[in-house]
């Protein structure tokens, strides 16, 4: 395996940004497709490979793992900031396909993330189901409206959220996972397979249970896994196995 750190200028972001990549060195092992792996709000592009065994999973399944940097943007084209969702879903895949000679077959393209990144992963797959076969959310923010109504959110985070969602913290339909899922079903679009995992002591457990209940009544191939655990890396390391079993085994 090769671990690459790419510093590159982004036309969409209008600045230099980081991309961390785990890639098979042996061309014969590059048969596991591409996984876009998204970080949480307190992390950066390096955190997954520093704090988990993601490289071992990439080696086992022969996949290229792409870990982009999006700061605390909630994987959104920000109201007062940069267009991170456009960067993630448009510019980044095109750049990586050219740079790494990736197989761009949507049937072998996956997206996963934790916390803020779990929201981002589901949002990617529900917005562009033609681009991703499967998506995984680990302890994800599955109800962005509920997250923005959190009465215990500190002032500094409220300020950040206003930069993302606007002064009134209004959620647009294209930012709401429920609305995105409904649109795909209503328009009879292709439905990606989705997995959500959450710890039973996680502060986001309630919203994950509610999202699971909603999705399990829909036509989606949706799976929910809940085990003891809270919002921390030991849980996410444990459920990397759950995620890869879901991605690579039917």
Tens digit of each residue's pLDDT (9 = 90 or more) over 142-194:
999 999 999 999 999 999 999 999 999 999 999 999 999 999 999 999 999 99
Residue 28: pLDDT band by 50, 70, 90 thresholds?
low
Helix (H) or strand (E) holding 209: helix 205-216
Which one, of 140, 83, 82, lies nearest residue 111 by Cα?
140
**What is the average pLDDT across 216-227?**
98
235 Rama class: left (phi>0) / alpha (psi -120 to 50) / beta? alpha
For residue 82, give the CATH number of its domain.
3.40.50.1820
Q: What residues make up the domain containing 207?
A: 2-248
Beta bridge partners of 8: 17
The model carries a pTM of 0.97
Q: Is the dihedral of CA 47, 143, 222, 229 positive or negative?
A: positive
Are 120 and 113 spatial neighbours (Cβ–Cβ below 8 Å)? Answer: yes
**pLDDT for position 1:** 85
Whether residue 222 has pLDDT greater than 60: yes
**Cα–Cα distance between 16 and 89 in angstroms, integer?**
17
pLDDT tens track for 203-214: 999 999 999 999
Question: 3-state SS string over 6-72?
Answer: EEEEECCCCEEEEEEEEECCCHHHCCCCEEEEECCCCCCCCHHHHHCCHHHHHHHHCCEEEEECCCC
Beta bridge partners of 144: none
Whether residue 105 has pLDDT greater than 60: yes
**pLDDT for position 30:** 59
Number of structural domains found in the chain = 1
**What is the average pLDDT across 35-39?**
98
Buried b (16+ CB within 10 A) or exposed e, 77-105: bbbeebbbbebbbebbbebbeeebebeee
**What is the average pLDDT across 36-60?**
97
**What is the average pLDDT across 117-135?**
98
**pLDDT for position 31:** 82
**pLDDT for position 26:** 66
Helix or strand or coil: residue 224?
strand
Instruction: Please tell me what DSSP assigns to residue 80.
Output: T
Residue 24: pLDDT band by 50, 70, 90 thresholds?
confident
**pLDDT for position 250:** 66
Q: What are the φ and ψ backbone dihedral angles of 166, each rounded to 5 degrees?
A: 100, 160
Whether residue 227 has pLDDT greater than 70: yes
**What is the average pLDDT across 35-46?**
97
**What is the average pLDDT across 42-66?**
96
**Cα–Cα distance between 77 and 182 in angstroms, integer?**
21
**pLDDT for position 29:** 54
**Cα–Cα distance between 75 and 120 in angstroms, integer?**
5
Which one, of 116, 4, 110, lies nearest residue 63 by Cα?
110
């Amino acid at each position: 395996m090769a671990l690459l750190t790419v510093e590159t200028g982004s036309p969409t972001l209008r600045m230099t940004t980081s991309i961390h990549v785990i890639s098979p060195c042996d061309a014969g092992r590059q048969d596991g497709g591409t996984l876009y792996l998204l970080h949480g709000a307190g992390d950066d592009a390096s955190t997954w490979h520093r704090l988990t065994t993601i490289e071992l999973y990439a080696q086992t399944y022969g996949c290229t793992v792409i870990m982009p940097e999006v700061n605390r943007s909630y994987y959104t084209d920000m109201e007062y900031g940069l267009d991170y969702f456009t960067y993630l879903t448009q510019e980044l895949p095109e750049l990586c396909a050219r740079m790494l000679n990736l197989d761009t077959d949507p049937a072998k393209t996956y997206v996963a993330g934790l916390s803020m990144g779990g929201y981002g992963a589901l949002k990617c797959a529900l917005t562009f189901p033609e681009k991703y076969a499967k998506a995984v959310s680990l302890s994800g923010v599955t109800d962005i409206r509920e997250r923005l109504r959190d009465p215990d959110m500190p002032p500094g985070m409220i300020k950040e959220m206003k930069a993302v969602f606007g002064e009134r913290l209004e959620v647009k339909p294209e930012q709401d996972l429920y609305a995105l899922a409904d649109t795909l079903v209503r328009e009879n679009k292709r439905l990606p397979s989705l997995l959500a995992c959450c710890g039973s002591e996680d502060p986001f457990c309630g919203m994950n249970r509610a999202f699971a209940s909603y999705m399990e009544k829909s036509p989606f191939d949706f799976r929910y896994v809940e085990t003891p655990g809270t919002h921390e890396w030991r849980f996410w390391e444990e459920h990397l196995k759950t995620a890869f079993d879901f991605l690579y085994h039917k």
